[in-house]
Structure 1
Amino acid sequence: MGDGWGRVERPDAEIWFLDTGPTDDERPLVVLLHGLAGYALEWGSTIAALREDFRVVAVDQRGHGSSTRRPDDVSPAAYVADVVAVLDDLDATSATLVGQSMGGHTAMLVASHHPDRVDRLVLVEAGLGGDDPGGVEAVTRWLRGWPAPFADREEFLAFFGGQRLVAEGWADGLDERDDGLWPRWDADTLGRALAGISTHEHVDEWARITAPTLVVRGEHGSIPERQVETMRALRPGTQLAVLSGAGHDLHLEAADALLPVLRRFLADD
């Protein structure tokens, strides 16, 4: 059976997800959660690398991709409930959760509030939350400032700049319409979602997690060093990997370095 898209109905949103396995697949389940303004298929390299040994599911989180663009509820609790709903739809008792940035924060909260549903937890450039509110507003302004529609891919790449692989990954997530390329999200909706994460550092939630955990950082990433120190002090068994030369979107720019680290963790007894 080839890849297929599934959908779950939530009270205020449809949540779409890519499923690489048949419904009777008994292989271990890995669920991938993208970051803010991302989309399920940005995990393409990870999906390709893991699919022979795992049933891999990648979720378009609410407010992103094919899922409902402007849901009323973009609280952290809503994102957590969506992941649980996807697991229920798959008839999966539990899974390994792998999340990048905002997706990692959601994965962390699922592991904290629903420990029986998470076998292993991987946080890719994801911390405890509690960002400076000024930083949230800056990100929201940046998203609002995208000069969409973009005439073509090259115009977007020139606008986005930075590391080419990262820019290409973001470009692949654009929606092609008759008048050009558009983002598949609403800036104000994503701003509200990010604000929900920034309310406080979720230290207590982190401390309650029992699943084996791997934290992957980029050498030039954005997770504060003091947060990582706090996370390891509270849960000394947490594994940490730092990828040399990589930034925040390391699953795009450093997939060749991330995948062996991820495979070792998933194979660790």
Structure 2
Amino acid sequence: MSPQFVLRDGVRIAVTDRGGDGPAVVLLHGLAGSSRELLPTADALTPDHRVVLVDQRGHGQSTRRPDDCSREAFVDDVITVVERLLPGERVRLVGQSMGAHTAFLVAAARPDLVDRLVMLEGHAAGSDDPHEARALGDFFRSWPLPFADLPAAREALGDSPIARAWVEDLERTPEGLRPPFDADIMEATIAAVQVPRWREWESLAVPTVAVFAAHGMFEPEQRDELIRRRPATTRVDLPHGSHDAHLDAFEDWIAALRDALRP
């Protein structure tokens, strides 16, 4: 299914509508991902929900090199998608990692558009390590691009679930295979995510579920702090999975998500 495009301030946002007749669910992927990796999640929710997937700016089939990588720009993109494609609806907003961060900021800014919020491996604390964003950018810059073919990409990136998702997302160019994102844009994007957003988190007025994987990114103390700062949050701890539990603990994730979306 080919995406449609929503244009906002010169940036094209790719949106895939998987259909379904129930309440609208909008899915947001993580950093250096795309909506492709959430297609199994989307298909598990239809036809009971109308599922819409968004390639966030700088990712997938959306504008690759936006001038603005601020959190506000990402939030405004999602708001525009909802207002234009799902007018008059309050959506169920679901995000993983950076997508979870985008999602809760959307819910904080526009609770009139969000019926409920589900965050997989997302957090509001940011990071106090000034080198973290640069290290992530350096990781993506270290990829030996372009890859000659899929076996070369697999050899370089490995066989983890997230590596397989990266390989599946590679784009064919005259020079070889390249990811649908650029390292400097990913660095700028994650640097913005690393700014603490406790005010927005504590102000959330919509029902919120925070899902953490057994072997995810966040330490127990970090998980506890998220709930302590917003006690109304429902916390779900998956028995398996990594930060990319939508890929490596899929059944656990879908069971938790269905419960979170149940009326």
* Partner in structure 2 of residue 33 of structure 1: 28
Identify the residue that residue 17 of structure 1 maps to in structure 2. 15
- Tell me the TM-score normalized by structure 1: 0.92
- Counterparts of 2:44 and 2:139, CA distance in 1: 33
1:5 alignment partner AA: P
Residue 138 of structure 1: which of 118, 135, 138 is its match?
Answer: 135
Matched residue type, 1:27: G
Question: In 2, distance between residues paired with 1:154 and 1:250?
Answer: 25
- Deviation, 1:162, is 5.2
> How many residues are aligned here?
261
Matches within 5 A, 1:249-268: 249-267=244-262
Q: Write the distance in 2 (CA, Å) between the matches of 1:154 and 1:216.
A: 34
Provide the alpha-carbon RMSD of the alignment: 1.5
Cα contact 2:18–2:43 (8 A) shared by 1:
no
Matches of 1:242 and 1:174, distance apart in 2? 32
What secondary structure does 1:120 align onto? strand
Q: Distance in 1 between matches of 2:227 and 2:115?
A: 19
Q: Is 1:97 aligned to 2:55, yes or no?
A: no
Q: 1:160 is matched with which residue?
A: 157
Deviates more, 1:41-50 or 1:4-13: 4-13
Q: Which ranges of 4 or more aligned residues in structure 1 deviate by more than 4 Å?
A: none
Gaps of 5+ in 1: none
- 1:43-192 alignment runs, 5 A limit: 43-92=38-87, 93-131=89-127, 132-161=129-158, 163=160, 165-192=161-188
Amino acid at match of 1:171: V
Gaps of 5+ in 2: none
Identity value in percent: 41
TM-score by length of 2: 0.94
Assess if the C-alpha contact under 8 Å between 1:12 and 1:72 holds in 2: no
Partner of 1:243: 238
90-99 or 102-111, which deviates more = 90-99
Aligned partner of residue 59 in structure 2, secondary structure: coil
Deviation per CA, 1:227-247, whole angstroms, max 9, x where unpaired? 321221122231222223311
- Taking a change above 3 Å as real, the CA distance of residues 244 and 155 of structure 1, as seen in their structure-2 partners, is farther
**Cα shift at 1:129:** 4.1
